[in-house]
Amino acid sequence: MLHVWNTAGVASTLAKYQSKILGWRTWVLTRKVYDKYGFTTYGKAMTLPNTIFKLILLYTIRNYDIIHVHSLDELLPKIKDLYPNKPVILHYHGSEIRNKWSLRKRYWKLADVIIVSTKDLLESAPQERVYYLPNPVDTEIFKPILSIRIKNTALFIYDNHPKYKASLEWAKSIAKKKRLKLIVHNRAVKPIKFLDLPLFLNRFEYFIDHKWTPALSKTALEALACNVKVIRWDGKVIENLPSQHKPENVIKALIKIYKEVIRTKDVSIIDSKYG
């Protein structure tokens, strides 16, 4: 199983737990220039120009049974041209496809199966071959450190994208209403490395999530894994990581999706204890 690209670190988490739980030979290939937060904790972020990276990637694919492409749908024509019989899963994670299904059709139509990370991405999606898969959280990395928790504090993380402006004002109003000391962190100005994030999140009693889509962000899910309370888009407070986001449950759900794509293909990798 080869995962291509590593949007928000999802590929690293999936590949790691596919190896741990299923015993599969898995790997992740991405480019370091697009991994400024250090998401690639499993696999390799390559320091190569784009053209050379693509050549190495296309050559590497020959050694894997299933190809799981994250976000980078523009690669599908070349992958399918070179390896027409290999199952290719296309995994969309957010803005790269939100409200763009018609625009990106020339790419996603080549996938054997399409996966989306949040339910709102199903809007305008083709009715067949598209599945929702909850984002996994690496619970070996994100876990509670109660000794550093500061009561009555809240964290809001944002970047310079315009969509954060309304959420930031909302976060301020929520903190004021609940009498919480709010810390606002601009990750565009001061990036937090992925492996430093658990320690950072654990300092706070609350994490205030974004407001623009009715879905918990991946960072909010990671905060929940640290037992940090999350205030979600509708003001509701969530205190526990939903079970569907635990890695072992995501892997089980993913096996069912893989079975859909290889019904007519002879791929022995699916023969596992979840098969």
Together in a domain, 47 and 171: no
Distance CA 215, CA 212 (A): 9
Is 99 within the bounds of a domain? Answer: yes
CATH code assigned at 14: 3.40.50.2000
Same domain, residue pair 14 and 106: yes
pTM of the model: 0.94
Domain carrying residue 239 = 146-243
Task: Tell which residue, 46, 11, 39, has the closest CA to residue 27.
Answer: 11
DSSP labels, 131-145: EE-PPP--TTTS---
Same domain, 98 and 33: yes
Instruction: Look up residue 51 and give its two tokens.
Output: 């053209």
Q: Helix or strand or coil: residue 169?
A: helix
User: Are residues 27 and 130 both part of a single domain?
Assistant: yes
CATH number of the domain bearing residue 212 = 3.40.50
Structure tokens that stand for 253 in this block: 């759900």
- Domain tally, the chain: 2
pLDDT at residue 227 is higher than 60? yes
**Residue labelled with tokens 């070179």:** 82
Digit-coded pLDDT (tens) for 44-93: 999 999 999 999 999 999 999 999 999 999 999 999 999 999 999 999 99
Same domain, 250 and 230: no
Q: Residue 268: is its pLDDT beyond 60?
A: no
76 Cβ contact list (under 8 Å, min separation 6)? 69, 88, 90, 107, 108, 110, 111
Tell whether 91 and 168 lie within a shared domain: no
Whether residues 29 and 55 share a domain: the answer is: yes
Residue 275 falls inside a structural domain = no
The per-residue pLDDT for range 107-147, each reduced to its tens digit, is 999 999 999 999 999 988 998 889 999 999 999 999 999 99
Are 13 and 68 within one domain?
A: yes
Residue 227 within a domain: yes
In this structure, the answer to whether residues 8 and 122 fall within a common structural domain is yes
Q: Is 151 part of a structural domain of the chain?
A: yes
d(CA 53, CA 181): 45
pLDDT over 80 (residue 235)? yes
Name the average pLDDT for the chain.
93
Residues 118 and 42 in one domain: yes
67-70 and 88-92 beta bridge pairing: parallel
| 10-30 pLDDT tens trace | 999 999 999 999 999 999 999
